[in-house]
Structure 1
Amino acid sequence: MAHPGIPNDLKISKVAYRDRQFSIVHRRWSASDALAIKQCFEQLQYDMPTGVHGKLIERIYRDILDAGQKPLIIDCGANIGASVTWFASRYPAAHIVAIEPAPDNFALLDKNCAGLDVDLRKAGIGPQDGVAYLQTTGGEMGYRTNTDQNGIQIDMVSLDTLLASKPQSQYVPFLLKIDIEGAEKTLFCGDTSIFNQFPLIIFEPHDWMLPGQLTSQEFFRFHVAAGREFCMNHENIASITRHSSLLGMTQDLKN
């Protein structure tokens, strides 16, 4: 009765972070949707890194704005948009690209991103453009892309294509979030230099879900080869760029 335009199988949850408030539309009986909202706005799982590393990331964010450009956030596996709205709260001046391949999730993502500076892409993220197939490992948070023609056919877009669509004169890569249910195994194969353009990568590994498949191995190879720093919060990893003399900046960042 309070929301006559919302079907009975949906509900609205009001959330807030810092000075921003959102009304997130989600499935009434979906434990996955409720968990996604809880992880973002109660557990603050993406509020990372903290301490000296957090101050470094905040400085990079401010430096991009001071240069008259927009920090670019790419959210791979945006689900229904809880993470997108949280990022919009934490980094209100950023431009966000939200990638979600599942049609049911994307429909809610579209609703929840209305009015935000967000570019929505109904696709999966992969090492190159093309097509793949979508299957679920359980629940609305469990969609994963594959190439063995198991599931519905979807479009795939590469990080190269996404960055090419954002003029360097206007946008600067800032944060890359990757939560793609094990498909990271192929995402980080081949040339990974483009990932290093992002000062902060927030990555959820899925070895626990797919034992024996080494799904996160290629990500860690990239992380180590690039000489990036490592922090954790809940189930997420923060891969942080090697910034100019981070060790030498430590005392300055504490002040």
Structure 2
Amino acid sequence: MHLTRKIVHPSIPTSLGVCKVTFRGKSLAIFHRRTYADKTAISQCFEQNQYDMPGRDHGVLIERFYQKILTSGKRPLIIDCGANIGASVIWFTARYPEAHVLAVEPAPDNFSLLQRNCTGLDVDLRKAGIGATDGISHLADAGWGTMAYRTVETEQGPEIAMVTMASLLASKPEDRFVPFILKIDVEGGEESLFSGDCSDINRFPLIIMEPHDWLLPGQGSSLPFFRFHSASGREFCIKDENIASINFKEISQSQSSLG
């Protein structure tokens, strides 16, 4: 089997598998390691549809805002923090084909697959972690495999560049892009991220975040997020592992400015 695979696809290492999925009428191929973690990441996106949120009236509002951005001649901007091997990026590009995705992933092994999976897509890839300040942090394995890499301040792993939301948004000119969706799955790093200045984070009408209190019991890693969410007057929905934080005020203001 491996010999046949090598002959037919010489550029693909035999250590990798290819998962073919169908979404919204599109056939998509996702490269993955033959691991539970990678297969779970794909399943969460394309079988469980975990990022297909919020639903009902909230979902209608988000879809209308997406179309409003397009009508204005600008591009909806999706930032994927903790992009892993790219399953979520592929899902977002298939669900919102006119959007531009900026994907952030700190782990070199994940990033290598992310690059492979995003070949040919309109995606800006950054090998970095997301944080409250620009600088350097360190990569740590939380013990759950390649789905659970964390950035930590203690010098216990390889150095990783850290970028802020302000830096990411500064690279996407306001005359071309409108913040649309911010996805955050950073294995507890949300504690540090939401402990800083959240004004740029609040520009996203929809934030989809996985909290990680289950991974870090007793540390209150999600508390800064909930404080931000409450103080900003955002609305709340939940599906599977993820929280949707919706800024109705931002949607209303942005719609007015888009004309």
TM-score, normalization: structure 2?
0.92
The equivalent residue for 1:212 is 218
Give the direction of change, closer, same or farther, for the CA distance of 1:210–1:245 in structure 2 (3 Å limit). closer
Which residue of structure 1 aligns with residue 244 of structure 2?
238
Query: Does residue 61 in structure 1 map to residue 71 in structure 2?
Result: no
Distance in 1, matches of 2:57 and 2:12, equals 44
Q: How many Å separate the matches in 2 of 1:244 and 1:208? A: 31
Gaps of 5+ in 2: 253-259
Which stretch of structure 1 is more off in the superposition, 182-191 or 42-51?
Answer: 182-191
How many Å separate the matches in 1 of 2:79 and 2:13?
A: 30
Note the alpha carbon deviations across 1:95-129, whole angstroms, 9 max, x for none: 00000000000000000001111000000000111
- TM-score, with normalisation over the residues of structure 1? 0.94
Choose the corresponding residue for 1:170, options 173, 176, 191: 176
CA contact 2:150–2:187 (8 Å) conserved in 1:
yes
Structure 1 position 71 matched with structure 2 position 90: no
Secondary structure (helix, strand or coil) at the match of 1:214 reads coil
C-alpha deviation, 1:196, in angstroms: 1.1
Identify the residue that residue 155 of structure 1 maps to in structure 2.
Answer: 161
Partner of residue 87, structure 1: 92
Deviations 1:171-210 (A, max 9, x none): 0000000000001110001321111100000000000110
Q: Distance in 2 between matches of 1:208 and 1:41?
A: 23
Where in structure 2 are the equivalents of 1:1-255 lying within 5 Å?
1-2=4-5, 3-28=9-34, 30-137=35-142, 138-243=144-249
Contact 1:19-1:89 at 8 Å conserved across structures:
no
Give the Cα separation in 2 of the matches to 1:105 and 1:9.
14
Matches of 1:108 and 1:245 in 2, distance apart? 34
Once residues 60 and 228 of structure 1 are traced to their aligned partners in structure 2, the CA distance between those partners, rounded to angstroms, is 16
> Whole-Å Cα distance in 2 between the matches of residues 123 and 88 of structure 1?
21
Distance in 2 (alpha carbons) for counterparts of 1:7 and 1:202: 33
For residues 244 and 82 of structure 1, what CA distance do their matches in structure 2 show? 28
**Cα shift readout 1:146-178 (whole Å, capped 9, x = no counterpart):** 001111101011100000000000000000000
Task: Give 1:216's aligned amino acid.
Answer: S
- Classify the secondary structure of the residue corresponding to 1:193: coil
Q: 1:181 to 1:244 in 2, by over 3 A?
A: closer
Cα shift at 1:19: 2.7
Which amino acid is 1:41 matched to?
F
Whole-angstrom CA distance in 1 between matches of 2:91 and 2:162: 25
- Give the partner amino acid of 2:213: D
CA contact under 8 A between 2:100 and 2:122: conserved in structure 1? Answer: yes
Runs of 4+ in structure 1 displaced over 4 angstroms? none
Provide Cα deviations, 1:17-61, integer angstroms capped at 9, x if missing partner.
103222111102x10000000000000000000000000000110
CA distance in 2, matches of 1:245, 1:201: 12
Structure 2 counterpart of 1:249? none
